[in-house]
Chains A and B, each alone.
Chain A
Amino acid sequence: MSSQTNLAERGMAVGLRALNKIASSDIVDRLGLRDQAERLLHETTKTTMRTAATAGRTFAAAQKLSRPARQPKGRRSDLFDLTPTDEQQMLRDSVREFALAKLRPVTEAADDACEMPAELLSAANELGLSMVGVPEQLGGAVEERSAVTSVLMSEALAQGDMGMAVSCLAPAGVSTALSLWGDADQQATYLPEFVGENVPAAALAVLEPRALFDPFKLQTRARARDGGYVLDGAKSLVPRAADGELFIVAAELEGRGPALFVVEAKAGGIAVEPQPAMGVRAAATGVLTFDAVQLPEGALLGDADLAVYAECVALARLGWCALAVGTAQAVLDYVIPYVNERKAFGEPISNRQAVAFTVANIAIELEGMRLATYRAASRVDQDLSFAREVSIARRLCAERGMAIGSDGVQMLGGHGYVKDHPVERWYRDLRAAGLMEGALIV
């Protein structure tokens, strides 16, 4: 602990286990480039049948906590500043390197397979993603609560692939939620698994399968019964639904309002059905159905506090904003060299204003999305209200982000429509940012 202070005094708030791990363990090199696509095909035998969820380990508290641990919030800042801290830059850069070097080459195969290669998932875990939101005394990686750090890492990961980013980040969302709102027992039971070598498959299940879904009007219901709860309903587009071991499920608690429940896959009465979608397919999305699932009293997270629930919904939307920013950046980075190299009528098509202005507008709107997302995240970290700022970032990322996805395809013309180029996938992925609820939080 004292070395923390010294490091902080030196102006580099480090001492982070995750950071050290990354800096010292050149993970990107160790991964090697075996033919992951081939390996993927081998594993693509997910059925489309509804099956009972049985996956998962037994979660048990190794030691008791007297009270829950929380990451402290950061200090309020006096100056406008867009420069990430040294620690954030290092985390972002190593995640981005991983995303571009490891995820990007297998995106098409992962998209087809509706799954991310297992060894890439465990490699991603080594980046410390699910440790960022966990308090240090519980083995976490970062001293202070930092949604900005999570946003930067999510954005960087999505530059490689949005679907795989979701697969990697969904467990991090669960560990962050447990850290923010879990009681001592919940933290002691679950968090050690998220800071260990073998991070459980986990996700936040909020969305429900119907049009005009509103996360504040849930149809999944929980009733208090026999000192515990009974859960009924269905959740859609849940990342890694089939192999999920732990879920945080949003449900209307009878007499209380919308609330969050910690649900182990082994609880009994949970059915899983794959739900491949237009995009983010490598997130292995599925529908979870709860049929009179019995939950213990300790399953309720955050005491059904509406403020906690609203915060959770907002932090998930913010996560999707970060993913949209990273994906839109990928579009811009891909389109610029393409329009410069592609010739028509004897010169590069980028010599035409119709093309060049489209590229300029992608850059303008992308930067607006990014700044709005950063502002919302920095307000989270400074303990300022952030509902309005998240709402604004989400609207930008939904509408402007989708337009960027569409323009990305448009700039390549017919070539953008075929799978030789990634722009069609980004088009499919970017639609998610405006409709997803839950799945992960930052």
Chain B
Amino acid sequence: MPINLETPKKFAGLVSQAHIVATEVFRPNSRKYDDAEHSYPKELDMLAAAIDGMNESGALGGAGAGGVGGNGNGDGNGNGASAKKADPNANRNGSNMASLLGLTELCWGDVGLLLTMPRQGLGQAAIAAVADDEQLKRFGRKWAAMAITEPEAGSDSAAIRTTARLDGDEYVLNGEKIFVTSGDRAELIVVWATLDPKQGRAAIKSFVVERDNPGLKLDRLEHKLGIRASDTANFRLEDCRVPKENLLGSPEIEPKRGFAGVMQTFDNTRPLVAGMAIGVARACLERTRELLEEAGVEIDYDAPPHSQSAAASEFIAMESDWEAARLLTLQAAWMADNRKPNSLQASMAKAKAGRTGTDVALRCVALCGSVGYGEGELLEKWARDAKILDLFEGTQQIQLLIIARQLLGKTSAELK
């Protein structure tokens, strides 16, 4: 089939479902939970139940509501009804693209609320990537948060100091974890810890900890610039004991494989976070366009930039970067669906979408002046929300490092 970069028709139903959720549930609650940080958005419980129902009925095409992760193992055939056995070499538009499209649409509604959707946590991405069948059965349907970052280990996840010591049939975890999205609300927390701090990356493993484990102590919830609907928890792990079956992946320290298992998670989730940025930026662009048109600005795609107003020209410039980010992200998801290695493209998507999301949101606020800056519109909130998307799942700078190392053939020792 020919080159085609349009959104596949088979996902139209999924996107429109997500759009309804975004319009009817997220948007009306956006300002409320931005104001009332740390209060639980109870409206989402009913929504989560409805989404579970839709998943079971196949209405969402095996892609869930497009929540982060959790859906990486779908059959890739979109609508269950059309699931026929296909040529393995044939072009596929599958679960990665479906998740991306659903998620983008929901984040057009509200990123903060998306991040605190019950049972859609990032921890599920890690579970889906490396869990065995037995673990999938135990953990697969639960709300799982991800605990990686420590006070002294942010982007440098190899510097993790939280330890895991085998004691009989249990691992004993000790350490401190910060920036755990939905950490207080989730049922499970996937904790990254090292079996041996002297052995570097290869010794880092992920462990599933139940939220009610007495060894897992909540320190505090952060007060943040944006995504306030989503709680961010800091924990201490004090002799926190988990069954040894809760270790995800292989318990062996394999220096050759190194980080492969845990980092694999990120190749799947980076395009999703890029999709979040695309969703927020689209919300900004759409609202800004309405406000500009109310102000009498006409946008003419045929006219050269210098033949139209500065505002119209700037709008097209923003739209252009947004479109580049969107297409890079679709490319990364498409490659994942077709089992092509996409680490480079996933990071390119994340880098471009992360910076474009923030840039577009901030420029939209400026273009709309006091209306954009005031709390009467959501533009100022979106500009605060967007910034996180250039930070988590690997900052802009980390993405550039990953991309540059691949392009230049550098090790992390050569290009630091």
Structural contact, A80 and B400, CB atoms closer than 8 A: no
Chain A 340-372 against B: per-residue CB contact (8 Å), 1 yes, 0 no?
100000001011010011011101110111011
- Interface residues of B toward A: which range? 35 or more
Task: Judge whether A49 is part of the interface by a CB distance below 8 angstroms.
Answer: no
Distance of A348 Cα from B351 Cα, bound (Å): 25
Task: Judge whether A74 is part of the interface by a CB distance below 8 angstroms.
Answer: yes
Given contacts A367-B328, A391-B301, A395-B316, contact A360 B5 (CB under 8 A): no
Given contacts A360-B407, A372-B324, contact A78 B10 (CB under 8 A): yes
Distance of A351 Cα from B410 Cα, bound (Å): 8
Which of A288-296, A381-389, A415-423 sits within the interface? A381-389
Structural contact, B324 and A396, CB atoms closer than 8 A: yes
Distance of A366 Cα from B352 Cα, bound (Å): 11
Distance of A315 Cα from B415 Cα, bound (Å): 42
Q: Which residue of B lies closest to A396 (CB)?
A: B320
Which of B188-196, B221-229, B303-311 sits within the interface? B303-311
Q: Which residue of A lies closest to B11 (CB)?
A: A80
Q: Which residue of B lies closest to A211 (CB)?
A: B306
Chain B 1-23 against A: per-residue CB contact (8 Å), 1 yes, 0 no?
11111111110000000000000
B interface, over-half SS: helix
Distance of A361 Cα from B403 Cα, bound (Å): 9
Q: Which residue of B lies closest to A377 (CB)?
A: B3
Structural contact, B9 and A392, CB atoms closer than 8 A: no
Task: Judge whether B323 is part of the interface by a CB distance below 8 angstroms.
Answer: yes
Task: Judge whether A310 is part of the interface by a CB distance below 8 angstroms.
Answer: yes
The interface centre, meaning the residue of B7, B302, B321, B405 with most chain A CB atoms within 10 A of its CB, is B302
Structural contact, A340 and B409, CB atoms closer than 8 A: yes
Instruction: Report A-chain residues with C-beta under 8 Å of the C-beta of B301.
Output: 387-388, 390-391
Structural contact, B4 and A382, CB atoms closer than 8 A: yes
The interface centre, meaning the residue of B307, B351, B407 with most chain A CB atoms within 10 A of its CB, is B407
Structural contact, B327 and A372, CB atoms closer than 8 A: yes
Distance of A212 Cα from B10 Cα, bound (Å): 44
Given contacts A80-B97, A364-B403, contact A313 B4 (CB under 8 A): no
Structural contact, A375 and B5, CB atoms closer than 8 A: yes
Chain B proximity of A330: nearest CB distance (Å)? 15
Residue from B93, B327, B407 in contact with A363 in the complex, judged by beta carbons closer than 8 Å: B407
Task: Judge whether B334 is part of the interface by a CB distance below 8 angstroms.
Answer: yes
Residue from A83, A369, A379 in contact with B324 in the complex, judged by beta carbons closer than 8 Å: A369
Structural contact, B6 and A360, CB atoms closer than 8 A: no
Task: Judge whether A318 is part of the interface by a CB distance below 8 angstroms.
Answer: no
Task: Judge whether A216 is part of the interface by a CB distance below 8 angstroms.
Answer: yes
Instruction: Report A-chain residues with C-beta under 8 Å of the C-beta of B416.
Output: 351, 353
Structural contact, A379 and B348, CB atoms closer than 8 A: no
Near B by CB (< 8 A), chain A positions 67-90 give 74, 77-85, 88
Distance of A369 Cα from B5 Cα, bound (Å): 13
Q: Which residue of B lies closest to A389 (CB)?
A: B323
Task: Judge whether B331 is part of the interface by a CB distance below 8 angstroms.
Answer: yes
Near A by CB (< 8 A), chain B positions 71-85 give none
Given contacts A85-B2, A214-B303, A395-B316, contact A356 B348 (CB under 8 A): no
Given contacts A364-B352, A388-B301, contact A336 B407 (CB under 8 A): yes
Task: Judge whether A243 is part of the interface by a CB distance below 8 angstroms.
Answer: no
Instruction: Report B-chain residues with C-beta under 8 Å of the C-beta of A313.
Output: 302
Distance of A369 Cα from B328 Cα, bound (Å): 10
Residue from B8, B408, B410 in contact with A79 in the complex, judged by beta carbons closer than 8 Å: B8
Distance of A25 Cα from B407 Cα, bound (Å): 35
Interface size of A by Cβ–Cβ distance < 8 Å?
61
Structural contact, B5 and A339, CB atoms closer than 8 A: no
Task: Judge whether B317 is part of the interface by a CB distance below 8 angstroms.
Answer: yes
Structural contact, A80 and B334, CB atoms closer than 8 A: yes
Q: Which residue of A lies closest to B334 (CB)?
A: A80
Task: Judge whether B130 is part of the interface by a CB distance below 8 angstroms.
Answer: no
Chain A proximity of B9: nearest CB distance (Å)? 6
Task: Judge whether A320 is part of the interface by a CB distance below 8 angstroms.
Answer: no
Structural contact, A359 and B404, CB atoms closer than 8 A: yes
Task: Judge whether A148 is part of the interface by a CB distance below 8 angstroms.
Answer: yes
The interface centre, meaning the residue of A83, A339, A350, A356 with most chain B CB atoms within 10 A of its CB, is A356
Structural contact, B6 and A364, CB atoms closer than 8 A: no
Chain B proximity of A376: nearest CB distance (Å)? 9
Distance of A367 Cα from B320 Cα, bound (Å): 13
Given contacts A356-B415, A360-B403, A388-B301, contact A77 B409 (CB under 8 A): no
Structural contact, A80 and B4, CB atoms closer than 8 A: yes
Residue from A216, A357, A392 in contact with B316 in the complex, judged by beta carbons closer than 8 Å: A392
Residue from A77, A146, A391, A392 in contact with B4 in the complex, judged by beta carbons closer than 8 Å: A77
Structural contact, A374 and B5, CB atoms closer than 8 A: yes
Task: Judge whether A193 is part of the interface by a CB distance below 8 angstroms.
Answer: no
Given contacts A340-B409, A369-B324, A371-B331, contact A364 B5 (CB under 8 A): no
6 residue pairs bridging A and B, Cβ less than 8 Å apart: A81-B1, A340-B409, A363-B407, A364-B348, A368-B328, A368-B352
- The 7 tightest CB contacts between A and B, nearest first, are A368-B324, A77-B4, A371-B327, A356-B404, A391-B301, A375-B5, A360-B403
B residues with a Cβ closer than 8 A to A are: 1-10, 91-93, 97, 301-307, 316-317, 319-321, 323-325, 327-328, 330-331, 334, 345, 348, 351-352, 397, 400-401, 403-405, 407-410, 414-416
Q: A77-B2, A367-B328 are in contact. List 15 more A-B contacts (CB 8 A).
A: A79-B8, A81-B1, A81-B2, A81-B334, A83-B3, A351-B415, A353-B397, A357-B400, A372-B324, A372-B327, A375-B327, A378-B2, A378-B6, A391-B320, A392-B319
